[in-house]
Structure 1
Amino acid sequence: MCIWTRCRRDGGHAAGEIASKMAVDLSAEKFSGHSGLFTQDEAELWLNHLIRGVNLHLYEYAEAHAECRGMGTTFAGALCTNEFITITSVGDSRIYIWNKGHLVKQITEDHTFVNELLKSGQITMEQAVDHPKRHILMRSLGTEPTIALDTSTFEWTNGSHILICSDGLTNKLSDEKLSEIMEDAKSLREKTDMMIKEANHSGGEDNISVVIISNDGDGDKE
C-alpha cells in the first residue's frame, strides 16, 4: 500500500517550490503515521482529509510569510492497495490508467480555464491544444483556505498500471504516444525515461515529471 504525489510549481518560482515541497513532505508524514488497511470508503475519507489539511497548512503558511503570498501547487496522489486505487488531483497534473492492448485513459479532470471552455462547448479539442490561456488554473493547492476535491476509486487488477504526471509531459505527448511507450517490453524505469526524453525532444519547456505504478502479476513493482 503506498501513496504517491507529484506537484508542480505555481504562483511564482520560489514560493511554488516551497508549496510543492511542503505538500509532498506533509503527505509522506501523514501516510507514514497510518497503520492498518483501508476499505474503499476509508481510503476516500482519509485522502480527502489529507488534502484539505495540506491545503489549509499551505494557505496559512503563505498568509504568515509575505514572500509566499499567493503560492500554490498542483497535486496528484494515488492511494494504492492490492484491490483498488483511490486517486485525487488539484490543478492540471494528471493520473492515467493503462492496461495492455488499450489506450491510456485519463482518470482525473484538469482544473483549468481551457477545460471549462471545452466542457461548455465554447471550444473544440483541437482549439484547446494550443489555446493561449491553457495554463490558467481554476484550482490549485494552497491559494484558498478551502478546496473542492474530485476523489474517486477504481478497480486495481493484475496488469493494471497508473501514470502520475505533470502537464510538462502531457502537453508534449499524446495519449497514443504514451500508450505506445507503455506497450514497449521495457522496465517501468526505462519507460519513464523514454517519456521524459520524448517530451524534451518535443520542446520540454516546462517541468516534466512522471511516475508509473504497476499492479503486475509478474512482480514488476518499480
Structure 2
Amino acid sequence: MTSQNYRYRAGAATDVGLRRELNEDSLLVMDDLFAVADGMGGHDAGEVASSSCVQALREMRQDMIAADPPQHMDLEALRSMIGSANTSVLVAGQGRAGTTLTMLAGIRHDDPAGEHALAVANIGDSRAYWYQAAADQMVQITEDHSAVQELVNRGIITAEEARTHPDRNVITRAVGTSPHIAADVAVLRPEPGDRFLLCSDGLTNEVSDDDLAWAISSSDDLDAIAHDLVDQANEAGGRDNITVIIVEILS
C-alpha cells in the first residue's frame, strides 16, 4: 500500500554501541510510517518503553490499513496514534520509563482536496532531517526537547557546545512520562528523490551534521548508508545506542 500517491523505499540499522549492554532503541519501518524511539529509565525499562511505543504505532496503523475501506492517515489520526502510544508506554513502564519518538508518516492534508503530504512528529531529542535533492542540501526538521537546546535557544551556549555539554542527555519532554503529551508536528511536501533521516541521539552526539549531510546522498543503497552511519558513530566513541532510518521519496 502506498500513501497518498507517494511511494517510499527505506533502509535502517540499529546497534547497541560500544558502551551500553542493552539496546534501548526501537525502530518501525512500514509502508508509509517510520519511527525511531530511544528509551530511558534504567535497566530494561527503556527497552520496554521504546518497544511499547513502536508496537502501539504499528498496531494502530495495521488496523487502519485492514479497515474496510482502508483508512488514510491525517493529522488527527496521527495525534491519536501518538496519544495511544503514550498510554501504552505509561502502562508498560509503570511510570518509571519513557521514550523519545520521532516519526515520519504519509498523510492526507487540507481536506476535502485530500492533498498528499508527509508529517514529521517528534517528542524528545531523536531527530529528523530532510535532504532536498534538487538543492543538494539537508535541513534539520525537528528541534530537540532538551535542557541544552533551551540553552542554545537563549543564546547561552552554541549548538557545537551543546554536543559536549554535561546536561546534553537531559530531556524535557518524553513519551510515557505524563498522561498527556504534546508532539511537535511539521507538514511537508517533498519531491521525488528527497530523503529523510530519522535517528536517535546516539548518532547525532557522535557524527556532525556536515557528515550526516554527505552520507545521506552518498549511495543508492539506503541500508548501506544506515549501516555506515552506525559505523561512524561507533568509530567516534559509540557512547550510546545508535538507530538510523533513511527514507527516500520515489513518486
**Normalised TM-score (structure 2):** 0.78
Looking at structure 2, the residues matched to 197 and 149 of structure 1 have their Cα atoms a distance apart, in angstroms, of 30
Residue 116 (structure 1) shift = 0.8
Looking at structure 2, the residues matched to 50 and 120 of structure 1 have their Cα atoms a distance apart, in angstroms, of 32
Aligned match for 1:57, one of 88, 95, 102? 88
Alignment root-mean-square deviation, CA: 1.8
Q: Is the 8 A contact 1:93 1:165 kept in 2?
A: yes
Looking at structure 2, the residues matched to 10 and 203 of structure 1 have their Cα atoms a distance apart, in angstroms, of 20
- Aligned residue for 1:13, secondary structure, equals coil
Residue 38 (structure 2) pairs with residue 8 (structure 1): yes
| Residue aligning to 2:62 | 32
Unaligned segments of structure 2, at least 5 residues: 4-31, 108-114
Label 1:22 to 1:185 Cα distance change in 2 as closer, same or farther (>3 A). Answer: closer
| Residue aligning to 2:211 | 177
Q: Which runs of 4+ in 1 moved over 4 A?
A: none
Q: Read off the aligned partner of 1:128 and give its amino acid letter.
A: A
Give the structure with the higher percent strand. 2
- Aligned residue for 2:44, secondary structure, equals helix
Label 1:195 to 1:62 Cα distance change in 2 as closer, same or farther (>3 A). Answer: closer
Label 1:30 to 1:197 Cα distance change in 2 as closer, same or farther (>3 A). Answer: same
Looking at structure 1, the residues matched to 91 and 221 of structure 2 have their Cα atoms a distance apart, in angstroms, of 42
Looking at structure 1, the residues matched to 93 and 236 of structure 2 have their Cα atoms a distance apart, in angstroms, of 35
Looking at structure 2, the residues matched to 151 and 189 of structure 1 have their Cα atoms a distance apart, in angstroms, of 26
Unaligned segments of structure 1, at least 5 residues: 64-68, 218-222
Q: Is the 8 A contact 1:84 1:157 kept in 2?
A: no
| Residue aligning to 1:66 | none
Identity %: 32
Q: Read off the aligned partner of 2:103 and give its amino acid letter.
A: G
Looking at structure 2, the residues matched to 130 and 27 of structure 1 have their Cα atoms a distance apart, in angstroms, of 33
| Residue aligning to 1:139 | 173
* Correspondence list, 1:122-137, <5 A: 122-137=156-171
Q: Is the 8 A contact 2:100 2:125 kept in 1?
A: yes
Q: Read off the aligned partner of 1:9 and give its amino acid letter.
A: G
Aligned match for 1:156, one of 177, 186, 190? 190
Looking at structure 1, the residues matched to 216 and 34 of structure 2 have their Cα atoms a distance apart, in angstroms, of 19
Q: Is the 8 A contact 2:101 2:123 kept in 1?
A: yes
Looking at structure 2, the residues matched to 131 and 154 of structure 1 have their Cα atoms a distance apart, in angstroms, of 32
